[in-house]
Structure 1
Amino acid sequence: MERNISDTPMLSNRYKLLETIGAGGMAVVYRAQDMMLERPVSIKLLRQDFSGNPAFREQFRREAKAAANLSHPNIVTVHDFGFDAGRLFIVMEYVPGKNLKALIRERGPLPVAEAVNLIAQACAGIGYAHRAGIIHCDVKPHNMIVTPDHRLKVTDFGIARALASINPDEHTDEVWGSPQYFSPEQAAGLAPSPASDVYSLGVVLYELLTGQLPFTATDAQELARQHREARPVPPRRFNRDIPPALEQIILKVLSKEPSQRYRSADQLGRLLAPFAAQPETLQPFPVEQPRSAPATFIPQAQEPASRPRPVYSQPAQPPGQHSGEGRSISDPFLSPLFTPDIIILAIIAIVLWVGMLPFGAYVLLKLGVLGVP
């Protein structure tokens, strides 16, 4: 039975657990406070039956270290991991917003441009991980957090494995990923590849555009069979707003053979770019504010790292107005022609001219130009 948050208020004498923000079959996620650095964080606390397995703890440690090396705007940053009170945990940046699955439940199918914009961001983050030799292995909308300003961040690389450690001939009875979203090769127990993440991204995009999954069943075994053998219904049958060219991309991504899909998430993202909305055209959506922490644990006000700092500019002045005194710009001494530098140069020139008058008169007198006897 999962212990209440009050039973484990502090981890490693550093992280104060504040409230539960999510739970799954493997772990519970908390909003927490890093007491050392005075910043909000998210903590995924694994269940005790997983934490008690020494082999799993070592695998988790390796994967958390790999995830901590990923630094990208579309990836939730891993700050720390550890083992305390018989529980494994991983510490991540706190990202305000909601997961993509909750967004689908609230809104149903998203407009094409908005849906593609979100998946293109997921492609950017996962593609970066692919270049670093890391496969996510569990791409699904639950692992994608969307901020109010439509920045998407992929989380939960905790089960990912370094590409270099994968034997292409590996075969195991252990299935990685979630049955609704995993690839045919994962369903068959084969080693995942970047193309496996690409397939899962295609499933998420299909769901975003149609409001439903390409394959549904009452049990995981039947779902696995459908991923391996069944052909998905073309998404345009559910949503006629999907351009035919985009439909062809989705169906290619959902190919049964990895070699028939796009090689990486980066390649998929480049192909989706023409269908994506520009970020400035998207309307922000409200999110539930976290409950206040005890006064001693409230951090100093700071902006979330995922949101760019706004740039403020001075409002434009009406024509003919000067911001200093409210005088008309038509006043010649407020004109850009009469700057302080020009005025000083003019005064110097006048002084020199006046000073040269006696000398000039003397020269002219000697030359007889003035005609003085």
Structure 2
Amino acid sequence: MDESKTVTPILGNRYQLIQNIGNGGMAVVYHARDLMLERPVAIKVLRQDYSRNEAFRERFRTEAKAAANLSHPNIVTVHDFGFDSERLYLVMEYVPGTDLKTILKERVRLPVEEAVNITIQAAAGIGYAHRAGLIHCDVKPHNILVTPDQRVKVTDFGIARAMASIQPDEKHDVVWGSPLYFSPEQASGAAPSPASDVYSLGVVLYELITGRLPFHSSDPAELARMHREAVPVPPRRLNPDVPLALEQIVMKVLAKEPSARYRTADQLGRVLSSFLQSMETIKATPLQDSGPIAVSRLHSAPNSNGFPLQPVSEITEVDGEEESINIDWGTTGLALATFVAVGGLIPFWLWIWFTFNPPTP
């Protein structure tokens, strides 16, 4: 039976369900209307097998309260939550647009600049949550919405937990996150950290620029092993248009050890913003028409901080002509004037000398 057809049309005597706009493993998402405030909202209604679990309901309430405290342009705002007709539900800001997974299905992969821009915006929202003490734990394209005006919104902080409640040595029987996108430490059942979200963002960026996931298997256990042990194929082997500097960033983000990655989404966003500005600067810089150009290319190497250097443009001349001699006419003129001035004083001093020291007959 389709559970989406068994939900009460009005939840909590306030939210009128209008249309089913998404189905997931845990919930059904509806476009709805808030009858009290007369505005459109999105409502995630959890499936009954989750809603009936009292321990899960309590955890859901805690996480919903934490998510409701997040207010950022790149995060879908949580307005309310409740329990009605044996169903838990979460009321969120309604965002017109398409989730990133749907976009990837249609376009396979995105141009580098578009992919990096989307990741920067997602990192801004997730970074804000990190500063508030929350970890998303389930970053994936399905949870990243792109509006018609290219604004990115991260949604589904429903499974996020407050960092303050996580002990560094905590282990979990339940593995949080989606196996295609979760971090090595999540695959091991260890407590996630902000670096775990950074890893998942790296998997998303890898998929955006290559059209493929770094690891793929139909067996969740094998996927978990690959995240823990396997080395992903460098993005440039799958898409030669990916600049070396960006490949280095992605491979750093996909490091197995959390300490080897960028520590927070904010830090990743700053590095990607610097990379994007470098690309735009090079594109905007006109080339001097001083001879035949052999090659102009982007490259990068790590600097002393471990971050990629700004891409630079190399121009090599073939059959280059001898450089023209540059004469500093100002300096030359001053030298000549000095010579004339000094030279004009010689006869004057000679006249004085012979005036006071006339030659003896």
TM-score, normalisation: structure 1:
0.73
Match of 1:227 in 2: 227
Q: Name the aligned partner's letter for residue 207 of structure 2.
A: E
Query: Who is 1:99 aligned against?
Result: 99
Using the alignment, how far apart are the partners of 1:248 and 1:7 within structure 2? 48
The AA in structure 2 aligned to 1:268 is L
Structure 1 position 206 matched with structure 2 position 206:
yes
Deviations 1:109-144 (A, max 9, x none): 100000000000000000000000000000000000
One-letter identity of the residue aligned with 2:274 = P
- Displacement, 1:271? 0.3
Q: Residue in 1 aligned with 2:24?
A: 24
Shift of 1:4: 3.9
CA distance in structure 2 between the aligned counterparts of 1:2 and 1:153, rounded to whole angstroms: 29
What secondary structure, in the 3-state scheme, does the structure 2 residue paired with 1:75 have?
Answer: coil
Aligned partners of 2:274 and 2:262: how far apart in 1?
Answer: 17
CA distance in 2, matches of 1:100, 1:276: 20
The Cα of 1:218 is off from its aligned counterpart by 1.1
List alignment gaps of at least 5 residues for structure 2.
279-361
Match of 1:56 in 2: 56
d(CA) in 1 for partners of 2:29, 2:4: 12
Segments of 5+ residues of structure 1 without an aligned counterpart are 279-373
What secondary structure is seen at the aligned counterpart in 1 of 2:173? coil
Residues 1:84 and 1:247: Cα distance change in structure 2 (over 3 Å)? same
Cα separation, 2, equivalents of 1:3 and 1:256: 39
Q: Is the 8 A contact 1:72 1:125 kept in 2?
A: yes
Q: Could you tell me which amino acid in structure 2 is paired with residue 104 of structure 1? A: L
Aligned-residue offset at 1:242: 0.9
User: What is residue 176 of structure 1 aligned with on the other side?
Assistant: 176
Return 238-247 or 263-272, whichever deviates more.
238-247
Return the structure number with greater relative CO, CA threshold 8 A, min gap 6: 1
CA 7–64 in structure 1, closer or farther in 2 if over 3 Å, else same: closer
Does the 8 A contact of 1:5 with 1:20 survive in 2? no
- Is contact 1:15-1:32 (8 Å) kept? yes
Aligned residue number for residue 190 of structure 1: 190
In the TM superposition, what whole-angstrom CA distance separates every residue of 1:47-83 from its partner, at most 9, and x where no partner exists?
A: 0000000100000000000000000000000000000
> Number of matched residues?
278
Alignment check: 8 A CA contact 2:4 2:20 kept: no
Answer yes or no: is the 8 Å Cα contact 2:80–2:91 preserved in 1.
yes
Q: 1:257 to 1:179 in 2, by over 3 A?
A: same
Runs of 4+ off more than 2 Å = 1-7, 274-278
User: How do 1:36-115 and structure 2 match up within 5 A?
Assistant: 36-115=36-115
> In structure 2, how many angstroms separate the alpha carbons of the residues matched to 1:161 and 1:87?
21
Give the match's secondary structure for 1:83.
strand
- Matched residue type, 1:216: H
- State the TM-score, normalizing by the size of structure 2: 0.76
Please report how far the alpha carbon of residue 274 of structure 1 lies from its aligned counterpart in structure 2 after TM superposition. Answer: 3.0
User: Cα deviations across residues 233-255 of structure 1 (Å, max 9, x unaligned)?
Assistant: 00000111111011001000000
Letter in 1 for 2:37: L
Contact 1:195–1:264 at 8 Å: present in 2 too? yes
C-alpha contact (below 8 Å) 1:140/1:181 kept by paired residues: yes
